[in-house]
Amino acid sequence: MAPKSADANGVLFESDAATPDLALPNRPIEQADDQPKQLVWRNIILFAYLHLAAIYGGYLFLFSAKWQTDVFAYILYVMSGLGITAGAHRLWAHKSYKAKWPLRLILVMFNTLAFQDSAIDWARDHRMHHKYSETDADPHNATRGFFFSHIGWLLVRKHPELKRKGKGLDISDLYADPILRFQKKYYLLLMSIGCFILPTVIPVYCWGESWINAFFVAALFRYAFILNVTWLVNSAAHKWGDKPYDKNIKPSENISVSIFALGEGFHNYHHTFPWDYKTAELGNNRLNFTTNFINFFAKIGWAYDLKTVSDEIVRNRVKRTGDGSHHLWGWGDKDHSKDEMDAAIRINPKDD
Ligand SMILES: [Zn+2]
Ligand SMILES: [Zn+2]
């Protein structure tokens, strides 16, 4: 559990909350000091190459690759996406549910396909992102603008404030998991196999794809696509959208991001109640593939101790800090008034 620090700028776990509707006592700030940006040229060159190669891969995806390769790339996108959303994000960074070892093993394999650093490093950065949101201790501080929060943060050295405050963050629970320790120890080898070698070799040997198509479509195009989708949560979903739960923070409800990011764009809700395994209110499951994935594993018992937030707390928070944009998700929404329900025309009604 993270220590309750007086300088936190966002709740990370439920224990950080100080008000009955689970907020911090202080109003969040936005802050970014001037500091010379020390460019990391290795990353700039690698990301520039990756994106040029991914454009070529996108062309091959549409006009050259076999359909099996395109389907394979799509499946890899969903698998690597879940390795981030259900794995590094909801399970490891937020501890919003628990998973038995077979599910943790599946998630760590999916996570390795995504090549966004080991799950331990990802979860550590992400805890900092929530706890010190929109300040210099947030790795992708959106106060610095869209480009920085999208990719720019990976092209410069980390801010000293992030390193300083990061020392106080408890990540012992992550190191306690032998599966995560194994992934971190052999990360370079496992990532090379999972993200680049297997996605290239499988199409060539299984359905006679060319090396060029396999490498540029299933490896590079797919990798760059899921990277940008993940980054959109940090950039677009910290900039555009409604704020029905807390109007004092940047994160917003962004439906387009949710569609591509397997349900991770309900970002105003998520920063308000980060320990909720759904990262959204009930009713958004249609666009929340990750929640359905976790629900499936909860049914067979591999996912358990799923945390969520009571209707009453959500309603109180919406009233106190929301921007008034809280919409009904449909019939049965807790804010659906009795008058409206009584006035609705119902064809062949049968209450059960
Ligand atoms: Zn965020
Ligand atoms: Zn989060």
In a domain, 27, yes or no: no
Domain that holds residue 252: 36-343
Ligand nearest to C-alpha 89? 2
Pair of tokens at residue 277: 């395994």
123 CA distance to ligand 1 centroid (A)?
13
Ligand nearest to C-alpha 141? 1
* 133-190 pLDDT tens trace: 999 999 999 999 999 999 999 999 999 999 999 998 999 999 999 999 999 999 999 9
Ligand nearest to C-alpha 11? 2
In a domain, 14, yes or no: no
DSSP, collapsed to helix, strand or coil, labels residue 12 as coil
130 CA distance to ligand 1 centroid (A)?
7
* 55-67 pLDDT tens trace: 999 999 999 999 9
272 CA distance to ligand 1 centroid (A)?
10
130 CA distance to ligand 2 centroid (A)?
6
- Look over the chain and give the mean of its residue pLDDT values, rounded to a whole number: 91
Please tell me the total count of domains within the chain.
1
164 CA distance to ligand 2 centroid (A)?
21
DSSP, collapsed to helix, strand or coil, labels residue 118 as coil
d(Cα 192, Cα 182) in Å, to the nearest integer?
15
Pair of tokens at residue 34: 């001037």
77 CA distance to ligand 1 centroid (A)?
21
In a domain, 6, yes or no: no
d(Cα 188, Cα 35) in Å, to the nearest integer?
31
Does residue 341 have a pLDDT over 80? no
In a domain, 229, yes or no: yes
**Higher pLDDT, residue 284 or 22:** 22
What is the pLDDT, as a whole number, of residue 351? 67
What is the pLDDT, as a whole number, of residue 28? 83
Residue 133 CB partners (closer than 8 Å, separation 6+): 9, 10, 28, 249, 250, 251, 271
Question: pLDDT tier at 326 (50, 70, 90 boundaries)?
Answer: confident
271 CA distance to ligand 2 centroid (A)?
7
Query: In 116-142, which positions are buried (b, 16+ CB within 10 angstroms) versus exposed (e)?
Result: bbbbbebbbbbbbbbbbbbbbbbbbbb
What is the pLDDT, as a whole number, of residue 24? 84
217 CA distance to ligand 1 centroid (A)?
29
154 CA distance to ligand 2 centroid (A)?
18
Q: What is the pTM of this model?
A: 0.91
351 CA distance to ligand 1 centroid (A)?
40
In a domain, 89, yes or no: yes
Ligand nearest to C-alpha 238? 1
| Region 219-246 average pLDDT | 96
What's the distance, Cα to Cα, between the start and end of the chain in Å?
A: 42
66 CA distance to ligand 2 centroid (A)?
37
In a domain, 138, yes or no: yes
In a domain, 349, yes or no: no
Ligand nearest to C-alpha 236? 1
What is the pLDDT, as a whole number, of residue 284? 62
46 CA distance to ligand 2 centroid (A)?
27
DSSP, collapsed to helix, strand or coil, labels residue 39 as strand
- Number of other CB atoms surrounding residue 260 within 10 Å: 19
